[in-house]
Amino acid sequence: MRMWLRFRRKSYLLLLSCAAFSALCFYKVTSLVGTGGLEHENLRSKQSRYNPRDIHVVIGFYQGNNLPWVAGDNLTDAILNSATFTSTDPLAGRDGEAVIIPSFESPKMSKLFQINRFNIMASDRIPLNRSLPDVRKKDCKMKSYPLHDLPTTSVIIVFHNEAWSTLLRTVHSVINRSPKQLVEDIVLVDDASQRVFLKTQLELAVAELAIPVKVVRSEDRVGLIKARLLGAKVAKGKVLTFLDAHCECTEGWLPPLLERIRINSRSIASPVIDIINDDTFQYIRSFELHQGGFNWEMHFRWFSLPSDVIEERRKDGDSTKPFTTPVMAGGLFSIEKEFFYDLGAYDEKMEVWGGENLELSFRGWMCGATLEIVPCSHVGHLFRKSSPYTFPSGVGTTLNSNLARVALVWLDEWKNFYFKLHPEVAAYSKNQSVGDRIELRSKLNCKTFRWFLTHIWPHHFFPMEDRFFGKIRNKKSNKCLQSPRTKTFGQPYGPATMSDCILELYAPQLFVVTPEGYIKTDDSVCLDAIEFKDGSEVRIMACNTLKRQKWTISNGNVVHSLSGKCLDLPDKGDGLVVRECLSGSRSQLWTLENVQWKL
């Protein structure tokens, strides 16, 4: 039996290591709005119903209101209201190792899994103070910080019906792996939890900890945004550090964040966010060189740092150096308290959760802040494949209203582009009261969204006046270039193919041709020729600023800059190819059809 468990664990860990990077970059909350994807159909039929696209949620995950099922024989009130933490093995999950539940306990494990949508049995068998690997690079481990000069922080953690073991493990990891003189207090904000053990039992459990812990309660469900403001209001530290309720801080996580704010009080500093597997609770180190962005749906995305930025870091030789990010994930970050309020805190008219990370990111950059990812700071975050809770007003209403507010206040003329592509969000823009936020923007003398795209995110894939935006139609087939719908790491990938041209505004058939010669589309993917011999396949891959992704538009031909060959239709199949350019070949002739993206 023991040998079988060991073999099973090794097999499972191999699978987890293969999936780890994918888990960080994105996951789908399919239970929120359904699993339908965009198919090749007339968009009028799409717009007659609620947008069926999955809503992609990363990191700033928040739990909604009540359980979306009635607790029956399988999930009784007694089960839901009992803290099932029963760790008896002090070595379970040590050094971030996976915990595998034996197969004979699978029925119970599956039943309890539904409560929080992670393996609560695995979590409950891991000590609250389990050890974790030191995942920092060697240079980070050797780096020292002037602790006596660093500002103090309050760590604010919002929870709603969180599991006992994940919440308390978050608290213990903060206490055990932070210099005590740097943490003024930990503020736990209860957003109207119903579970009994999160009341008096929780208060007693945190009363005698080594760092003062306050429990602040909201009688009504106010959501993550307003709950964080409740925590910030009572926080004593000079810096506010926000964490989610299912995190684990690693060795040395805090000083690098506070050091950035000591150097620049207008810095908003985020750690590298590692992965805690939702099934085994294995701690998985993530790839550091990513920055946050967003797609045409205004959904947060992780994108690899452009190759030219990576090359600059290599030449600089300092792997500990923080790097800027256009957008932060929003779940985990530090910001000076006074600056947080001077900047406008959170938009209190945004509800529950969703879009607040974009709003704070735009406001930060455009109004004087610097958003950074600090590679010497690592914090693990529990990633779930689906949400166990609903939003009080419904996920569609909440997220669309929040995103409409972001667009109205911060996107300037690009709000028209966004609303054209997403009429379901535009419908919520008509009844938004954003006068106070526009007034704040004026008061802070904020820059424009054009400035943001040009100076903060120059590798973006949004339309601008200096580049083509529209459809790319082949003369011979009369079909349009289309982005694949298969995705990895949150980005489409696959052969560049043609499809019947859609008359309406259809995102998969819309492309940008940048002044540098990159043919880009939504989710930061580019036309890419990996091989150059005649008939070699052309693919759509993640943009990387490599020369092989550059093209020139000349006399109706789309010419690969590196090889000098032309984009062409294949002899058979659907995937496009490169071939020697032939004069008069209609299969190599393309029409670039401009699409109006402004009003």
**From CA 185, how far away is CA 558, in angstroms rounded?**
60
**From CA 119, how far away is CA 112, in angstroms rounded?**
7
Instruction: Indicate if the pLDDT at residue 1 is higher than 60.
Output: no
Torsion of CA 305, 309, 311, 313, to 10 degrees: -100
List, for residues 277-299, the tens digit of each pLDDT value: 999 999 999 988 999 999 999 99
When pLDDT is averaged across residues 210-228 and rounded to a whole number, the result is 95
pLDDT at 77: 65
Mean pLDDT taken over the chain:
87
**From CA 170, how far away is CA 243, in angstroms rounded?**
9
When pLDDT is averaged across residues 83-99 and rounded to a whole number, the result is 87
What pTM value is reported for the model? 0.86
List, for residues 358-368, the tens digit of each pLDDT value: 999 999 999 99
Lowest mean pLDDT among 5-14, 190-199, 270-279, 390-399: 5-14
pLDDT at 574: 82
The number of residues making up the chain comes to 599
pLDDT at 385: 83
Q: Which residues pair with 481 in a beta bridge?
A: 498
List, for residues 130-185, the tens digit of each pLDDT value: 999 999 999 999 999 999 999 999 999 999 999 999 999 999 999 999 999 999 99
pLDDT at 504: 87
pLDDT at 24: 42
Dihedrals φ, ψ of 325, to 5°?
A: -135, 130
When pLDDT is averaged across residues 537-553 and rounded to a whole number, the result is 94
Q: How confident is the model at residue 488 (pLDDT cuts 50, 70, 90)?
A: low
When pLDDT is averaged across residues 196-209 and rounded to a whole number, the result is 95
> Could you tell me the domains of the chain?
1-40+55-394 (3.90.550.10), 395-456 (1.10.8.460), 468-594 (2.80.10.50)
Instruction: Indicate if the pLDDT at residue 411 is higher than 50.
Output: yes
List, for residues 492-501, the tens digit of each pLDDT value: 889 999 999 9
Nearest-CA neighbor of 266 among 346, 339, 338? 339
Q: How confident is the model at residue 86 (pLDDT cuts 50, 70, 90)?
A: confident
Instruction: Indicate if the pLDDT at residue 220 is higher than 70.
Output: yes
pLDDT at 284: 97
3-state helix, strand, coil in the chain (%, to 5): 35, 25, 45
Answer whether 188's CB lies under 8 Å from 214's CB: yes
**From CA 461, how far away is CA 457, in angstroms rounded?**
9
List, for residues 301-318, the tens digit of each pLDDT value: 999 998 888 999 999 889
pLDDT at 88: 77
Instruction: Indicate if the pLDDT at residue 61 is higher than 50.
Output: no
When pLDDT is averaged across residues 210-238 and rounded to a whole number, the result is 96
pLDDT at 115: 85
CA 299 vs CA 34, 38, 56, 122, 357: distances in Å? 16, 16, 6, 31, 10
pLDDT at 307: 87
Instruction: Indicate if the pLDDT at residue 27 is higher than 90.
Output: no
